A and B are shown apart, each in its own frame.
Chain A
Amino acid sequence: MTAPENDEQFTVVRNEEEQYSVWWSDRTLPAGWFDAGFTGTRQECLDHIDRVWIDMRPASLRRFMTANRAA
């Protein structure tokens, strides 16, 4: 049931925890997810995510760690 590789268009999306995923370009984005500014085939989107998602910790954890280190 994995989507076959075809020319379906996807968008790179991101939530408030700055976690990335992909969503179909022709469908409404689920609530709490935002267009991260990249569109292409599924594989192109995943390749893009490989380049941009550097720190994979959820944003809330990242902020907590920074705050506590500073303290």
Chain B
Amino acid sequence: MSAPTLSNDRRRLLAERLLSRQTRPVPRRDPAAVAPLSFAQQRLWLADRMAARPEQFCVPLALRLSGPVDADRLRAAFQSVVDRHEVLRTRYRPGAGGPVQIVAARATVDFAVDPDLDPASAAEYRYDLETDLPLRVRLIPRGPHEAVLVLTIHHIASDSWSVGLLFDEVREAYAAGLENRPADLPDLPVQYADYALWQHAQARGDRLAARVETARQALEGAPESLEMPHDRPRPATRTGLGAFHRTALPPDLAARVHAAARAAKVTPFTLLLALYRVLLGRHAGTGDVVIGIPAAGRGRPEIDRLIGCFLNMLVVRGDIGAAGTVSDLIAAEHRRVLAAIEAEVPFERLVEAVAPARGTGVTPLFQTTFSYRPAEPALGSLGPAAVTPYDLPGGVAQYDLALDLTGTADGGIAAVWAYDDELFDAATVAALAGRFAGLVAAAVAAPAGPVADLPVLTPAEHDDLLRRGRAGVRDEDTGTDLCTAVWSAGPGPAVSDADGERDYAWLTGYADRLAAHLQSLGVRSGDRVGVLVGRRAELPAVLLAVARAGGTWVPLDPAHPADRLRYVLADCGARALVTDGAPAGLADGIPVVEVDAERPDAVPSPVPLPPERPAYLIYTSGSTGRPKGVAVPHAALSRVFRALRAQLRFGRHTRFVAVSTVAFDVAQLELLLPLTAGGHVYVADAVRATEPGALAALVDAWRPTTVHATPSLWRLLAQLDWRPDPGIQVLCGGEAMPATVAAWLSEHVAEAYNSYGPTEATIFASLHRLGGDAANTPIGWPLTSHTMYVLDARLRPVPPGAPGELVIGGPALAHGYPRLPARTAAQFVPDPYGPAGSRMYRTGDVVRVGPDGHLRFLGRDDHQIKVRGFRIEAAEVEAALTACPGVTGAVVTAGRDASGDARLVGHLTGDVPAPAALRAMLRERLPDYMVPSLFVTLGAFPLTPTGKVDRAALPEPGPVTGDPADRPQGPSEEVVARIWGELLGLDTVPATANFFDLGGHSLTLARLAFALGAEFGVEVAFNGLFERQTVTEQAALVQELLVAQILALGDDEAGEQLRRLS
């Protein structure tokens, strides 16, 4: 690889700039002129005034002096340096046009000798920039020939280069004093205030403005901040204090770094910066990394010898994802660094131009810095005394993380990692340092290798992460199959519903009769059988019958539109349909079996069960615009059931209330798992399964040992002020667990679990027992039927704490998506960490391992959305929307309603029908949960630079502005409108607007029914509200209910109520 060359245009620009430097030196200022602060000083001045801990802006230097020290001569030496440099005699005052420099003609150096001083406390100093001088010196004698010298300089008057200059001048002045000769120090033609004035004059030129604008554009779209895996959340305000971790690249590795840099025709600085960028990007889960690099900011002879704050932070953004090989990566870094040095944009000007809207918790533009010095400047001696560094404890962390590298005398490279210890633990930073060394070693060993394959973990960490992900898995056998388990589980009660209790003899008898009937209709091993049955005791029996006959059941939700049911039956090639009320014409050409039909006693012919035979085929939302089936084999189901029976201690005592729709895969668990353990299932009807009051009453009356529901349903139960039996076992899953629900469950229930699992990994893959940490509930660790890894885009483990895709392996995965080979191959991939030939499922869920070692859900990496437990492909809803007349384009996103529940928002273009009409059309094709709550019509979609719809830039649904003529009238309308406003997060509610048009969905409607009931003291049925969708209509409904209630009262009671009212 050759070093990148400068284009002719760039050469011309560089020459021009060099020329301008020669022709326009920094002039000496008019003695009467009031000097402003330089740009860097202005920022420091402001930051110093706003900081809670302004000592972070002091640069301490502590030196150990071994040998005799003459304190008086040392004081005189410091005084002479203060006399030479105005900046050491400058104070800063606010002025009308901003702060100004007040330079004292003379000032006595703040120098003291104190043998009792502790060096650490001597280094801590709070300057008042208005009254104090920026340099303080303390000499701490520790015996006749030993002392510690502590200098503290405010950053407003120095930078790291200045500290070296200062000490060099002191050394020379001190030596000259000892030798009684004049000090040999260079003339200073200008002073810092001259430079500040000159800098402001320069900035008024056009050329800088253009450079700033170019630099600003280069930062457009950069991540808000670089989020490394923190051990603790980012505090609202940075203290700027931190700690150091010191380590080194050993000489042999450093030698290979130098050789590799030479071969690439770059400096070790560039090479190591490029690899630091990879380390950061791979930890933060991003390719796009912005790093600050300090530049001396000098380069003009007249200011080279000046003490002062010249340091400029260059902002260098780079994309590690774009690089192919390590060599390409380094070459790209070289170009970036050259461009940044060449543009030399003052950091402060760039911050002003970018104007990041950020809190004080994040440093602007970048959160990490990198520096490299080929060698440590020699400290030498002070007169006859030898000088060595004295390490101060604790320190400053101006950024989240800073890596400062320095070549050492032994040929190695010393690394100082300065970190914000409010974010990171020492062990975390030590691990980072270890990984950096491994990354550097791998990169210099294989410069032609792909960047993506650079190991970011040490081999021990890599193996340990994989081991933890598969620690508990059992895959030696499949466990007892479903039918064997159920048929041997009785006697005793098995299934109940509102009509009463049935025992195991009924269950197996019913299932055997139906299985034999299905076989008589031609159902053979592996054939699919649709199950479209309401929520009743026969439902689990029908599923078992299909399995018993050798078939694969395809659960169908009677609430789904006929169009969708017809599609599923056709797509799966159902051989028969078992139903208790299928719409006419749904299943043309296949036998339809009535659930309630009388059938003679019969036993089906035994069908051998290959473990890989699918138990069920379940349809979930599909990205192609149509639902897609997921085939789950018996082997997977029995393994998950075995794991859950053990972990949840299911047995004959188990009483389970099933509430989930059969089209949701967890319903297979609710309806069947207890029956494999001899337990008892109550199949809640549609009302009890959705209305929180009815469900609470059922739980209180039937006294289950275990209940499963989504967080949304638990939230409704919590709002009822209902108290469950604290001994109940609660499973809660299907969507991200809100903190309020976790807190409520932890408070009221002894044993509650957050469950996680995609349909493709068979119902549940992990459980986390709740306790304590309500704010961000983990999804736990895998069941004994699964393995779980957090992997990067190349399917390798990410560092602990880094975001990655959750990938699930183990022996309980689905087969895939029948008739969708490409989709199956893309999602079910070779598992390099499992047994030979095994697969793992890419969930698309982004997770991280928290500092406590638990997995936490962060979000989705695609356009899949979760609403009330259902995974929805935006594309499927978008396809249904664009099929509506007039709609030319549709983008569906997830939002949150006023209660924090997920809701869908449809963004549309075209001549869009009214929301109510649109919703009616969608209900023909989509289940209710897939119908967007809100619609926003746009002229056109905002696009990303690559021409895709920019989902992040889509406008939020606007607030509802009510027509004054449409105000609610009268006390009942006003009360109803107020409740709507609370539920929907609206200030004004029009009396005739539709509840769903304002963002309501069926879950908010359930909440509304409850709130209206509580407010008016009447029983408001959820279904009743479906018919009455405006404030006016609902107020009328409430009136009717009240009247009906009063009419039902006896005369005495009515009289009593009337008396109380008057």
Contacts and interface: CB of A to CB of B under 8 A. Distances in A.
Interface string A57-70: 11011001100100
B832 interface: yes
Contacts of A31: 832, 836-837
A56 B453 CA distance: 32
A23 B830 contact: yes
B830 A30 contact: yes
Contacts of B968: none
Interface stretch (B127-135, B350-358, B365-373, B838-846): B838-846
B38 interface: no
Given A1-B792, A20-B821, A30-B831, A60 B826 contact: no
B321 interface: yes
Interface string B331-367: 0000000000000000000000000000000000000
Contact of B826 (A1, A29, A30, A46): A46
Contacts of B285: 1
Interface stretch (B107-115, B426-434, B716-724, B811-819): B811-819
Interface stretch (B44-52, B606-614, B974-982): B606-614
B282 to A, nearest CB: 12
B610 A56 contact: no
Contacts of B612: 57-58, 60-61, 64
Contact of B825 (A27, A49, A68): A49
Contact of B793 (A1, A22, A47): A1
Given A1-B805, A56-B816, A32 B836 contact: yes
A21 interface: yes
A60 B610 contact: yes
Contact of A56 (B793, B815, B835): B815
A6 B993 CA distance: 49
Contact of A29 (B526, B613, B830): B830
Nearest to A16: B837
A52 B321 CA distance: 32
A42 B826 CA distance: 9
B826 to A, nearest CB: 6
A1 B848 CA distance: 13
Interface in B69-128: none
Contact of A49 (B803, B821, B835, B837): B821
For this complex, into which size category does the number of interface residues on chain B fall? 35 or more
Contacts of B789: none
Interface in B836-861: 836-839, 844, 846, 861
B862 interface: yes
B608 A49 contact: no
A21 B830 contact: yes
B610 A21 contact: no
B1060 interface: no
For this complex, into which size category does the number of interface residues on chain A fall? 35 or more
Q: Is the interface of A mostly helix, strand, loop or mixed?
A: mixed
B247 interface: no
Contacts of B526: 57, 61, 65
Interface in B435-450: 450
A25 to B, nearest CB: 11
Contacts of B839: 15, 19, 21
Contact of A33 (B453, B822, B826, B830): B830
A24 B816 contact: no
A17 B837 contact: yes
Contacts of B821: 20, 49-50, 52-53, 56
Contacts of B844: 2
A18 to B, nearest CB: 10
Nearest to A3: B793
B829 A21 contact: yes
A65 B825 contact: no
B793 A21 contact: no
Contact of B822 (A30, A50, A60): A50
A49 B822 contact: yes
Contacts of A29: 830
Nearest to B828: A21
A36 to B, nearest CB: 10
A70 B352 CA distance: 80
B801 interface: no
B825 A61 contact: no
B830 A13 contact: yes
Contacts of B525: 65, 68
A57 B526 CA distance: 10
B733 interface: no
A4 interface: yes
A52 B825 CA distance: 12
A4 to B, nearest CB: 7
Contacts of B450: 26
A65 B526 CA distance: 9
Given A21-B839, A49-B822, A30 B862 contact: no
A42 B450 CA distance: 17
B823 to A, nearest CB: 8
A5 to B, nearest CB: 11
Nearest to A52: B821
A24 B830 contact: no
A10 to B, nearest CB: 10
**Chain A CB within 10 Å, residue with most, of B633, B805, B816, B837:** B837
Contacts of A22: 825-826, 829
A38 B608 CA distance: 37
Contacts of B838: 15, 32
Contacts of A53: 821, 824-825
Given A1-B285, A47-B822, A65-B526, A57 B828 contact: no
B828 to A, nearest CB: 6
Contacts of B828: 19, 21
B804 interface: yes
Given A30-B832, A32-B835, A57-B815, A24 B794 contact: yes
Contact of A46 (B793, B825, B861): B825
Interface string B402-437: 000000000000000000000000000000000000
B815 A15 contact: no
A53 B819 CA distance: 9
Contacts of B832: 30-31
A2 to B, nearest CB: 6
Contact of B608 (A17, A19, A24, A68): A68
Contacts of B453: 26-27
B481 to A, nearest CB: 14
B527 to A, nearest CB: 11
Interface string B590-629: 0000000000000000001010110000000000000000
Nearest to A53: B821
**Chain A CB within 10 Å, residue with most, of B610, B613, B818:** B610
Contacts of B831: 30
A61 B844 CA distance: 28
Q: Which 5 A-B pairs have the closest CB atoms?
A: A32-B837, A32-B836, A53-B821, A30-B832, A15-B837
10 contacts: A1-B803, A15-B838, A16-B837, A31-B837, A32-B838, A33-B830, A33-B837, A46-B825, A50-B821, A56-B818
Interface of A: 1-4, 13, 15-17, 19-24, 26-27, 29-33, 42, 45-47, 49-50, 52-53, 56-58, 60-61, 64-65, 68
Given A22-B826, A50-B822, 12 more contacts: A1-B805, A4-B793, A17-B837, A20-B825, A30-B836, A42-B826, A46-B825, A47-B822, A53-B825, A56-B821, A57-B612, A61-B610
